[in-house]
Amino acid sequence: MKKCLLKLAEMLLLAGLIVGCGSNAASDGASNEESISKADSYITVGFSQLGAESDWRSANTESMLSTFTEDKGYTLLYKNGQQKQANQITAIRMFIQQDVDYIVLAPAMEDGWDSVLSEARDAKIPVIVVDRRVNAADKNLYSCWVGSDFELEGKKVTSWIKAYTEQKGIEPGDLHIVNIQGSIGSTAQIGRTRGLANAAREYGWDLMAEVSGDFTETKGREVMEALLKRFNNINVVYCENDNEAIGAIDAIEGAGKKVGSDILNGEIMVVSFDAVNEQALAYAREGKISCIAECNPLHGPRVEALIQALENGNTPDKFNYVDEKIFSSISDVKSITVGDTKYSVDMP
């Protein structure tokens, strides 16, 4: 399915944008970016990224950009959707017009993709979904998906909280938890929120509020400030990513309270997801973040392997999960078990 030079020239004309001929560099800012590495007989990949809200997202974009390079035989078209599904749909339509070989979609949210994915299918362009999922009525609208089991991540963190608090002799009803959720309707939010809600129901924890922090530090801070005004007994803050956790810690300390795992003595425990942001990892090492479930962003090589499988006429598995770890510098809990699987708790 490799395109000839003529086809590529036509495509570039349509794109109207040739950025850095012979270079695959594209910045990961809030603005729309397109990067086209130009050469003949290359596999053309249109990548619709949802935005640049977090350090995880930046690492994910970088992984894609550094994988689909000219020297490896790829022409990459990259579009940043700036958190708007409408922008992502426009990008996919542009990729279809340009007759790319593959579309890679990192969707902002699960719902609302059926029409544009039908258009891609009609154009016979395989779509690979990465990171979050799409909730398509017909699963054949995309070739395959690769990403994290977000609900499992939530179960790991809640299992850690359960094991830790049981060891400390803290009654389940004495855990007063707030959830700073991710972007509502995204798979990462849905899975992690469900992980906590189910655990709270099952174990008898007091889950007092669920408010979205949109996966950003700024919103995490704002939401935490408001929650501290609303409740005076919060002792666990479940942040659905590290950027929110950094903002929440700022807000807690700004209110004159202490973050940490000693909740019997008035500290507020913060738990989180990703383990990508350096500041968050440092907080985890010093105990300000008690526990982090890894969410691995390095999907570039994984998507490339799927594309190569398709190129070779193989049918990859529909759903491809990434193995992930759990981190804590608190040595009380050495391992957790979720379902039948035991996970060691590693140092961050």
Positions that interact with ligand AHR (CB under 6 A): 53-54, 56-57, 131-132, 188, 215, 241, 273-274, 295
Contact 207, 197 (CB under 8 A): yes
Q: Which residues contact 249 (CB under 8 A, 6 or more apart)?
A: 259, 270, 283, 288, 289
- Min CB(281)–ligand AHR separation in Å: 14
Of residues 34 and 294, the one with the C-beta less far from ligand AHR: 294
Residue 235 or 328: the one with the smaller Cβ distance to ligand AHR is: 328
In the complex, least distance from residue 183 CB atom to ligand AHR, rounded to whole angstroms: 7
Q: Which is nearer to ligand AHR, 21 or 184 (CB)?
A: 184
Report the C-alpha gap between 35 and 74 in whole angstroms: 11
Closest CA to 253 of 215, 288, 304, 301: 288
H runs (alpha helix) in the chain: 5-15, 55-67, 85-97, 114-122, 150-167, 187-203, 217-230, 242-254, 278-286, 300-311
CA-wise closest residue to 325 among 281, 270, 279, 269? 281
Q: Minimum CB separation from ligand AHR for residue 212, in Å?
A: 12
> In terms of CB distance, is 293 or 307 closer to ligand AHR?
293
In whole angstroms, how close is the CB of 274 to ligand AHR at the nearest point?
A: 5
State how far the Cα of 233 lies from the Cα of 15, in Å rounded to an integer.
Answer: 55
Task: Report, in Å, the least distance between residue 283 CB and ligand AHR.
Answer: 15
Q: Least distance (Å) from ligand AHR to the CB of residue 188? A: 4
Beta carbon of residue 149, minimum distance to ligand AHR (angstroms, whole number): 12
Q: How far apart are CA 327 and CA 27, in angstroms?
A: 30
Pick 110 or 114: Cβ nearer ligand AHR: 110
Nearer to ligand AHR, 132 or 288 (CB): 132
Residue 153 vs 267, nearer CB to ligand AHR: 153
Nearer to ligand AHR, 53 or 101 (CB): 53
Which residue, among 166, 168, 47, has the nearest Cα to 98 in the 3D structure? 47
Q: Smallest distance, Å, CB 108 to ligand AHR?
A: 9
Q: Tell me the two tokens of residue 319.
A: 């759903």
CA distance 342 to 71: 41
Instruction: State the Cα–Cα distance between residues 10 and 128, nearest whole angstrom.
Output: 24
Q: Using an 8 Å Cβ cutoff, are 306 and 320 in contact?
A: yes
